[in-house]
Chain A
Amino acid sequence: MTRRLLWIAVALVIWAMLPFVVPRNIADLLVFTGIYTVAGLGIGLLLGHCGIVNLAQATFYGLGAYASAYCTVMMGLPSAVGFVVGAAISMTLAYVIGRPILRLTGYFLALGTLALSAIASALFFEWDWLTGGTLGIGGIPKIDIFGFVLDRPSRYYFFVWIVAFACMAAARNLVDSRTGLMLRAMRDSNTAAASLSIDLQGLRTRVFVVCALFGSLAGSLFAHHVSFVSTQSFTVDRSISFLLIPVIGGATSIPGIVAGAVFVTFLPEFLSNLGDIHQILFGLALVAVVVMLPDGLMGALNRIRARYAARGNRNAD
């Protein structure tokens, strides 16, 4: 226990010092990692605990971002209002759309969420009176906490990661609760879960709403960091990159979501130093991870730890 506490203390010190010792561009990437962690957590809950492939996260991410942009720039309201409005709209939409489409399963459900993302992306374009269309909405203010303006990555980093840790704690709480048990029962066998009187559709809808909430929070965080939102940030491509986070990191593991977010944020950045073929290299890296590490990065790490533990036990015998 003492050793575990020591590890946590060391990790916290490193976390707190990180933005001050790394260059500003890396601090910026760490901010994006935090934002993507929040968005990826929702997808991870759906994928890892319900077996649902959600390709609509960019929709809720966009709603959160546009709500923050509209409330602060167009209406002059405080940042917190944008967060709340974005979350309320996203959760309501997720409930209204989730009820009918979550009756679907497997590929059909994945295609349903993809359609939702495509429709939302088109609407973000078309409703330019609300979203600014291609030109977007600029001048979104930085978050101000009692006069302390989070106007640089090293400051915003702490805010984003505190939100990310809170979301992780909430997700952990959900997974470890009775609801988490029901989710896993449903994932492993719908029929068996239904025979235990689990309301499958209601349960799926609840998790979909939680996923939308995380997506919206991530979108609001993004809007206040970049200070500008436009349709280019909320396309179907973005939904796919959010789905990659749990697939790469490990869908059932919460630290895996962080690992996945680090992968999708940092790897393209480093590969871009290798010239115009960087997107091809990123694609190859994705294929390599999916083929060689089917349980994701955390799954591979757990296997290595289990192997060492088994070896240790053998030596002890």
Chain B
Amino acid sequence: MSMSSVARLAGTVVLVATCAFAAKAQTSGEPVKIGAIVSVTGAGAGLGIPERNGMLLAEKTINAKGGINGRPIRLIIEDDASNPDTALSKANELLFGQKVIGLLGPSLTASTVAVGGVTHANKIPQIAFTGIGPAVEKERKCVAHVLPPQKLNAQALLEYAKSIKAAKVGVLHDAGYGNVVMAEIRPIAESYGVKLVAVEKFEVGATDTTTQAAKVKAAQPDAVFIIATSATPFRNVKQLQMTQPVVAAIGSSSYEYVNAMGPGADNVVIPEFVVGEDPLPHQKAFVDLYKQTYNSTPKNFETAGWDAVHIMAQAIGKAGPNATPQAVCDAMRGPYSGVLANYDFAADDMTGIPLSSYVFSKLVGGKYTRIPFRIAQ
């Protein structure tokens, strides 16, 4: 080992020790307990695991900076196994057993709505990792959402189609998430000058969608939308040698899906929020910190986890150390500039994400590249 290496190592040790000491010195007193429910196992694990990583990093960072008014925060994270019944039991345990001041999650819509019934009734702040769901959620003013409603995802897809002058669009979507986004696309497609020439649905988890892709190909669209949480339709579109531009919804943007797409991933455009390979200036610090900590590139759900903890911490800080959950809830309702997007939790959809928050990325060789197209304010 050279002298310079020794010096670097010693420097790192001193820096880490200083940070650790500083963190201990800066926070004191009873930790502020925040509960979190994510799907770490089951069908929603692809969402829950990155969300958990983002939350843990945020907890560490906030505590290193002195916590909330000097008090450290403590996240109590539970796994709902992608099951709404379990999510409800976990919420009851966190809210009434652990007496957390607020709740983050869950990862899936069904669980979010189930848990929202308890948080709303007891006026406890909740920040969900889903877009707003059924109509009943509009009444729940203590349940904020850090991901966009599906209508916004639909608008983002259509904005891109309009920008590439795709007048005829074919759609491949699954019967779950894809169905919801599709229901939002239908009534507004015409206003974007888009005609839906073929809309083909397939089962969630289908292992072959060649028949549906062939029907879309036969309709000769100018572009193809793929709206699913699956890599299968991307592979099938490639196998059928379809040359039209493919635009995918955010649901299939994780690296797990991209790796499974194989060559089908090439040139796919995705409207999303965080391109880890080329982040926006305000996202860079988070992306660098995440890469340093986990040795991987963060995407949208990691960032949502990070933002949710910060939003909750800021609201608790604003409401004061002995504030009631209702006061935290009130403090949360307002604008917040996050890493994922600029939110406004006073908006009707309890998200307030503007359409202009979307960035558009293109997949090349399994890596994302941010393209210049943005939606105007």
Given contacts A28-B89, A151-B121, contact A279 B96 (CB under 8 A): no
Residues of A within 8 A of B40 (CB): 276
- Of the listed stretches A83-91, A136-144, A209-217, name the one at the interface; the rest are far from the partner chain: A136-144
Which of A125, A137, A138 sits near B204, CB closer than 8 Å? A125
CB <8 Å contact, A135 and B85: no
Q: Give the residue name and chain of the B residue nearest to A139 (CB).
A: B136
CB pair B137–A24 under 8 Å, yes or no, is no
The number of chain B residues with a CB under 8 A from chain A is 42
B256 interface hit (Cβ, 8 Å) = no
CA of A138 to CA of B116 in the docked complex: distance in angstroms?
10
Query: Which residue of chain B has the shortest Cβ distance to A226 in the bound complex?
Result: B114
A-B CB contact pairs (8 Å), 7 listed: A32-B85, A125-B179, A126-B175, A232-B110, A272-B78, A272-B79, A279-B41
- B177 lies within 8 A of chain A by Cβ: yes
Interface size on A, residues (CB 8 A): 35
Minimum Cβ distance to chain A for residue B178 (Å): 9
- A188 to B359 Cα, complex, angstroms: 67
Is the beta-carbon distance between A138 and B113 smaller than 8 angstroms? yes
Compute how far the CA of A125 lies from the CA of B182 in the bound complex, rounded to whole angstroms. Answer: 14
How far apart are the CA atoms of A205 and B93 in the complex, in Å?
42
Apart from A136-B109, A138-B135, 8 more pairs, CB < 8 Å: A132-B134, A133-B176, A134-B110, A138-B113, A227-B114, A233-B85, A278-B81, A279-B41
Partner of B117, one of A32, A133, A222, A227: A227
Give the Cβ gap from A243 to chain B, nearest Cβ, in Å. 17
- Secondary structure dominating the interface of A: helix
The residue among A24, A132, A279 with the most chain B CB atoms within 10 A of its own CB is A24
Q: Are B79 and A134 in contact (CB under 8 A)?
A: no
- In the complex, residue of chain A having the shortest beta-carbon distance to the beta carbon of B175: A125
- CB nearest to A225 among chain B residues: B88
A25 within 8 A of partner (CB): yes
A84 to B66, CA, bound (A): 57
A269 within 8 A of B: yes
Q: Mark B184-210, 1 if CB is under 8 A from A, else 0.
A: 000000000000000000011000000
Q: Does A72 contact B (CB under 8 A)?
A: no
Q: Is B97 an interface residue (CB 8 A)?
A: yes
B82 proximal to A (CB < 8 A): yes
Q: How far is the CB of B136 from chain A (nearest CB, A)?
A: 4
* Bound form: Cα–Cα A232–B84 in Å: 8
A28 and B84 contact, CB distance less than 8 A: no
Residues A135 and B180 in contact in the complex (CB < 8 Å), given A228-B113, A272-B79: yes
Q: How far is the CB of B141 from chain A (nearest CB, A)?
A: 14
Q: Is the CB of B86 within 8 A of A268?
A: yes
**8 closest Cβ pairs, A-B complex:** A25-B93, A138-B136, A139-B136, A24-B96, A230-B110, A227-B117, A25-B92, A138-B134
